[in-house]
Amino acid sequence: MDRLDSTRMRRWAAGLVAVLLALWGCSTNPATGKPQLALISQQQEVELGRDYDQQIQRLLGVYPDAKLQEYVDRVGQKLAAGSERPDLAWTFRVVDDPVVNAFALPGGHVYVTRGLMTHLTSEAQLAAVLGHEIGHVTARHSVTQMSKARIARIGLIAGSILSPALAGFAARGLDVLFLKYSRDDERQADDLGVRYMYAQGYDPREMPRVFEVLRRVSQVQGRQRIPDWQSTHPSEEERIRTTSAAVARLGNDFSGRVVNREGYLRSLEHVAFGQNPREGYFLGSTFVQPALGVQIRFPDDWKKANARSSVEAVAPKQDAVLVMSLSGEASWRKAAREFFLHEGNVNGETLLTEVNGQPGVVRTFGILNTDAGDLQGVAAFVEHGGHVYQVLGITREQDWTRYQEALTAAVESFRPETDPTLANVQPKRLEIVTLPAAMTLEEFSRQYPSTVDLKTLALINQAEAGTRLAAGDEVKRVVGGELPEGATL
């Protein structure tokens, strides 16, 4: 189940972007000065961007570290001020996602994941990433290769459980979505990125190094996962070549240029590394949500995914689905009333009037005349710890007898997590060590043990196991984050 949660959130974000960019043409391209097709004005672009920025902050989550956020914003603002669109209300945020990525929305909203932050080693590399994303905004690039299917799926995650949701699940399962620009757009953003970072005094040689990191991350993780910064084209190798050539055109004296490795690494002290188990993990078929203190048991051999705002399980034949999420309603009664009295919903039978000691209700229901035909399901609305949970199990009417038992058992399994060892898990975190003496990275990993393997340690330090590190160097290590036995993220 690794990474499906952030994949899902990217799908969300990119779905939004797709909707947005479908509306978004251009007039004169601010970065190139060339005319472009225009459908919306700058004012509209700004308003849309602001709306979607709110949604992305809510859905992906802003990483809770005010100093880190300020630092990234400061670097970004400096770069944007030197761009062709200095008057946009630029924002730069670190989103709480372990995947290595960065992206931008029209209107000047730029996001870098904490996953990417933990893989970079200097402020100049951060400037390269932000400069590239600023380039997408200033050049008004549009996102291509978005499918309507993905947009339809937003309905499910948003909690509006109606037909397109199940149809989407049944037809496509847990597929992956990418935010993808054209090859030319990526090249142009790379060129603009080099230009912007150079204009602010950074050492442009750090730009190709970012692509080297991405090349290595791709090798480890498989390139199919990661949008934009690891899109399949241009390849990282090509981008290393083209950005190196762009750097060479700037001359060969980069003395006095800013790299700021130490300041950057210090900003990463204690930043979470990898998937955060506090957002939920699986113990076999049981999903534990430590931050909220709840658990639910899904049927064995169903495909399960933690989408952060919801956790979902799909039957092997993809013809039944279970979804647990937080209801926005203030009480279980209100949530249940809203759901069961929804237009098209057929009220069923009450199975429980409390759920494992928590106030709530479990009822069956039907939904008629959806795109997927008539649906049957079972729903729980339960209060615990100041939150209202909604657990839905849905299948097609003709499959109900086959799934009734499994869906009902799962929905009724929702309960508070009372085992403190399961509830107290913590994420892995970065620690920055100043080396007291010269040593290789391998020696470092023995003297300062990490909770990731040597390969990962080498990757995040942009080094090899045998790389000789000097006394006084700042080096990342990863500490903590041990999981209960048998747990998977």
- For residue 339 the two structure tokens come to 């759901």
Q: Beta partners for 375?
A: 367, 396
Q: Looking at beta carbons only, is 186 or 279 nearer to Zn ion? A: 186
Minimum CB separation of residue 132 from Zn ion in Å reads 6
Strand, helix or coil at 484?
coil
> CB neighbours of 195 closer than 8 A, spacing ≥ 6?
131
In terms of CB distance, is 182 or 221 closer to Zn ion?
Answer: 182
From CA 294, how far away is CA 109, in angstroms rounded?
34
Shortest distance (Å) from residue 37 CB to Zn ion = 21
How many residues form the binding site for Zn ion (CB under 5 A)? 3
Residue 58 C-beta: closest distance to Zn ion, Å? 24
Nearer to Zn ion, 153 or 180 (CB): 180
Contacts of 70 (CB under 8 A, 6+ apart): none
| Residues 204-233: x where in contact with Zn ion by CB under 5 A, - otherwise, as a string | ------------------------x-----
The contact mask relative to Zn ion for 461-480 (x = CB under 5 A, - = no) is --------------------
Name which of 211 and 339 has its Cβ closer to Zn ion.
211
What gap in Å lies between CA 321 and CA 325, rounded to an integer?
Answer: 13
Residue 412, interface with Zn ion (CB under 5 A)? no
Q: Min. distance of Cβ 275 from Zn ion in angstroms? A: 24
270, 276, 279, 280: CA torsion to nearest 10: -140
**Residue 29 burial (CB < 10 Å; 0-12/13-18/19+)?**
middle
**What tokens were used for 197?**
């970072």
Report yes or no: 341 and 364 within 8 Å, Cβ to Cβ: no
CA atoms of 190 and 210, how far apart (whole Å) = 11
Beta carbon of residue 356, minimum distance to Zn ion (angstroms, whole number): 47
Under 8 Å between Cβ of 313 and 410: yes
Helix (H, G, I), strand (E, B) or coil at 421: helix
Binding segment for Zn ion (CB under 5 A), chosen from 105-113, 189-197, 273-281, 465-473, is 189-197
Residue 21, helix vs strand vs coil: helix
Q: How far is the CB of 402 from Zn ion (least distance, A)?
A: 46
31/189 with CB nearer Zn ion:
189
CB-CB contact of 462 with 212 (8 Å): yes
- Least distance from Zn ion to the Cβ atom of residue 185, Å: 7
Judge whether 322 and 313 are in contact, CB under 8 Å: yes
Query: Smaller CB distance to Zn ion: residue 124 or 214?
Result: 214
Of 24-32, 51-59, 180-188, 403-411, which segment contacts Zn ion by CB under 5 A?
180-188
Q: How near is the Cβ of 129 to Zn ion at its closest, in Å?
A: 9
Nearest approach, Cβ of residue 128 and Zn ion (Å): 12
Report residue 137 CA to chain centroid gap: 20
Q: Choose one: 56-64, 166-174, 178-186, 370-378; the region binding Zn ion (CB under 5 A).
A: 178-186
- The DSSP-derived string for 94-140 is EES--S--EEEETTTEEEEEHHHHHH---HHHHHHHHHHHHHHHHTT
Q: Which is nearer to Zn ion, 182 or 358 (CB)?
A: 182
Residue choice 124, 189, 313, 362 for contact with Zn ion (CB under 5 A): 189
| DSSP summary character for residue 83 | S
Minimum CB distance to Zn ion, residue 232 (Å): 12
Task: Specify the DSSP element, H or E, that contains 3.
Answer: none
Q: Is the peptide bond before 234 cis (omega within 30 degrees of 0)?
A: yes
Q: Which residue is nearest to Zn ion (CB)?
A: 228
Q: Which is nearer to Zn ion, 191 or 228 (CB)?
A: 228
- The residue among 133 and 412 lying less far from Zn ion, judged by its C-beta, is 133
Binding segment for Zn ion (CB under 5 A), chosen from 179-187, 349-357, 383-391, 424-432, is 179-187
CB-nearer residue toward Zn ion: 228 or 417: 228
Binding site for Zn ion (CB under 5 A): 186, 189, 228
